[in-house]
Structure formats: C-alpha cells, structure tokens
C-alpha cells in the first residue's frame, strides 16, 4: 500500500479488499481495485450486471467503506450463499479489529 493508513483505515481497506476478491467477484473486480483505493463508481456500475449475490457482496463492501446505510443485515442473511455469507462475516470481524491473522493468508487459502 502506497500511502500510510491508520489501523482502522487499514483494517477497513483489508476487509473491503477481502470481500471484493472473493472467488465469485475477483475476475470482475480486480481491474477496479486501484492500489490503495477502490474505483467505487466503476465497481457499482459493474455490480449492476452481476448476479444478485455478487451485487450484494459489492454493496456490502461499499457499505463497509462508505457507510451509506444501503445494505440491510437481513439482505446479507437471506441473499448470500453460505460461502459468501461466511466471507462477509470474516471481513466484519477483521473490520472491527478482531485478531484473525492476515486476510491475505485466508484469501490465499480460499
């Protein structure tokens, strides 16, 4: 990462990146992950043509980054398959500062 981030910003970045690089999203999202940032306008446009579960993952990641109150907890519980739901829960635990080890290691294992 090029710029210095605070601990909470770094955790948020890593959690969001973890969601956006999930197996179902990585091919479509990787080109829109720019260094330390995210091309949210392009990611949200790309999400419009995704499946409902993929779109929900992108919106959950955006919610973690920008806190717009767009994604409801019920949507995550009902709209994601088990693998995607577990990925969001892991990202949330990291986002809040729970010690999980590196999400990079988890991503590599997935």
Confidence check: pLDDT of 103 > 70: no
pLDDT (0 to 100) of residue 4? 40
Closest CA to 56 of 19, 26, 30: 19
Q: Can you state the angle between helices 52-66 and 40-47, rounded to 10 degrees?
A: 160
User: For residues 25 and 16, is the Cβ–Cβ distance under 8 A?
Assistant: no
Closest CA to 89 of 52, 60, 53: 60
Confidence check: pLDDT of 105 > 80: no
Confidence check: pLDDT of 25 > 90: yes
pTM over 0.75: yes
pLDDT tens digits for range 42-83: 999 999 999 999 999 999 999 988 877 778 888 888 999 999
């Amino acid at each position: 990462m090029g710029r210095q981030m605070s601990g909470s910003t770094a955790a948020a970045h890593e959690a969001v990146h973890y969601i956006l690089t999930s197996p179902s999203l990585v091919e479509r999202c990787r080109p829109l992950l720019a260094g330390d940032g995210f091309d949210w306008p392009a990611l949200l446009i790309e999400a419009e043509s995704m499946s409902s579960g993929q779109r929900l993952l992108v919106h959950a990641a955006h919610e973690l980054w920008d806190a717009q109150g767009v994604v409801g907890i019920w949507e995550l519980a009902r709209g994601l398959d088990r693998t995607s739901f577990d990925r969001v829960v892991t990202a949330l635990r990291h986002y809040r500062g729970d010690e999980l080890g590196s999400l990079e290691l988890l991503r590599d294992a997935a």
